[in-house]
């Protein structure tokens, strides 16, 4: 009987040891899994845990949080929280076109609408911008960038001459340039990287003509670069359509012009972005409603190319730095950084550069963007 009792006791001890080992294993596994760093979600307010293999997510403004996001800065500012509306479509593409949109924009002249432009010209152009790539500034299918989107917008102001900001500009994830973007010979001051080139057909062609002797002989070109059309009038719609189709411009001011001369022979629809007229109108009304509107040539007024491209970046990037834009001491510098002799800044009747300068200063002081100053 004792032997039997001893055997029972021995078995109980063995079972107890085995159970302890299993409990320890479960505890260790649970503790190990809870120590795996959590992947932050785009809402930045909750976390999720997963041991599955994760596929890359689309590149969006809030893919991962920034140390200092401009969206958060706008929400915290007493003035700008009521000005920024990040739900306004930045780009126009085929799927946004409706009869209602046509009727609405047909009441406004370009760049804020389509008054005076034929229905067929609008429809035929937008029908070529018919993929998701045309709807977003950053191409999700090709970019490898998955973090905080840091953008540099490079204007052509004389403040950049001798600035030695080239390396800093190129360190950004995406670099926007515009109009007469001379790079050769000024790499140390303005960098070499270009992700987006913004223009109207008028400003592009005028820049090629006016600054050819200063080194601007061609708009930027390479396979990763995208072009942002600002639809200032019918010329931009016709040039854009012809560029995608690879044919000469069929009519109007640029009739016979070959877009491949500017954008290369293999430029497909995925290379081009078109600012939405209602986005341009929103920018004017919220940020740059100038007193010039009420003067003799007010019908000509529109924000400058630089202003539109910088505000585009501010509505699509997580962090934005502006270089070569007008500052309060602009008189100390030449109009453009690539001029051999100092020239005063030219104030055109169709832009309000002083109003724009005040906006950049206020955005900088609000911590919404960084403005390069000297």
- pLDDT at 16 (0 to 100): 45
- Is residue 230 within 8 A of residue 198, CB to CB? The reply is yes
- pLDDT at 67 (0 to 100): 80
Read off the pLDDT band of 91 (50, 70, 90): very high
- Is residue 139 within 8 A of residue 317, CB to CB? The reply is no
Upstream peptide bond of 111 is cis (omega within 30 degrees of 0): yes
Query: Residue 91 has what DSSP assignment?
Result: B
Q: Which of 218, 219, 259 is nearest to 238 (CA)?
A: 259
Domain 70-371 of CATH type 1.10.1740.10: no
Read off the pLDDT band of 141 (50, 70, 90): low
Q: Which residue ranges make up each domain of the chain? A: 70-371
- pLDDT at 265 (0 to 100): 86
- pLDDT at 139 (0 to 100): 74
Q: What is the pTM of this model?
A: 0.81
Q: Which residues contact 163 (CB under 8 A, 6 or more apart)?
A: 189, 323, 337, 372, 374
- Is residue 220 within 8 A of residue 178, CB to CB? The reply is no
Q: Which residues contact 16 (CB under 8 A, 6 or more apart)?
A: none
Among 73-82, 223-232, 243-252, 261-270, the range scoring the smallest mean pLDDT is 261-270
Higher-confidence residue: 263 or 141?
263
- Is residue 267 within 8 A of residue 242, CB to CB? The reply is no
Read off the pLDDT band of 40 (50, 70, 90): very low
* CA 55/CA 19 separation, integer angstroms: 39
């Amino acid at each position: 009987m004792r032997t039997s009792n001893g055997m029972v006791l021995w078995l109980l001890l063995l079972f107890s040891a085995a159970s302890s080992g299993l409990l320890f294993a479960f505890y260790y596994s649970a503790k190990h899994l809870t120590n795996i760093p959590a992947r932050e979600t785009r809402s930045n307010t909750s976390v999720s845990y997963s041991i599955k293999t994760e596929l890359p997510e689309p590149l969006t403004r809030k893919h991962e949080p920034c140390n200092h996001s401009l969206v958060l800065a706008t929400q915290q500012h007493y003035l700008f929280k009521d000005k920024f509306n990040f739900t306004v479509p930045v780009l126009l593409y085929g799927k946004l076109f409706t009869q209602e949109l046509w009727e609405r924009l047909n009441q406004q002249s370009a760049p804020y609408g389509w008054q005076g432009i034929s229905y067929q010209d609008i429809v035929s152009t937008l029908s070529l911008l018919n993929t998701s790539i045309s709807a977003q500034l950053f191409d999700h299918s090709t970019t490898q960038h998955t973090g905080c989107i840091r953008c540099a917008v490079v204007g052509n102001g004389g403040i950049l001459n001798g600035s030695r900001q080239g390396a800093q500009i190129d360190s950004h994830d995406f670099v926007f340039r515009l109009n007469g973007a001379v790079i050769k010979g000024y790499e140390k001051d303005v960098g070499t990287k270009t992700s987006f080139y913004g223009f109207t057909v008028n400003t592009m062609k005028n820049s090629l003509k006016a600054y050819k002797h200063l080194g601007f002989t061609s708009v930027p070109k390479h396979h990763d670069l995208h072009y942002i059309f600002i639809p200032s009038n019918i010329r931009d719609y016709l040039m854009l359509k012809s560029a995608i189709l690879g044919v000469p411009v069929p009519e109007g001011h640029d009739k016979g012009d070959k877009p491949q001369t500017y954008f290369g022979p293999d430029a497909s629809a995925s290379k081009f972005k078109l600012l939405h007229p209602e986005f341009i109108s929103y920018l004017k009304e919220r940020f740059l409603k100038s007193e010039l509107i009420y003067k003799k040539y007010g019908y000509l007024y529109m924000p400058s190319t630089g202003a539109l491209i910088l505000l585009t970046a501010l509505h699509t990037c997580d962090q934005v730095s502006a270089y070569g834009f007008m500052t309060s001491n602009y008189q100390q510098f030449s109009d453009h950084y690539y001029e051999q002799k100092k020239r005063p800044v030219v104030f055109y009747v169709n832009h309000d550069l002083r109003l724009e300068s005040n906006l950049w200063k206020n955005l900088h002081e609000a911590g919404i963007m960084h403005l390069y100053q000297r």
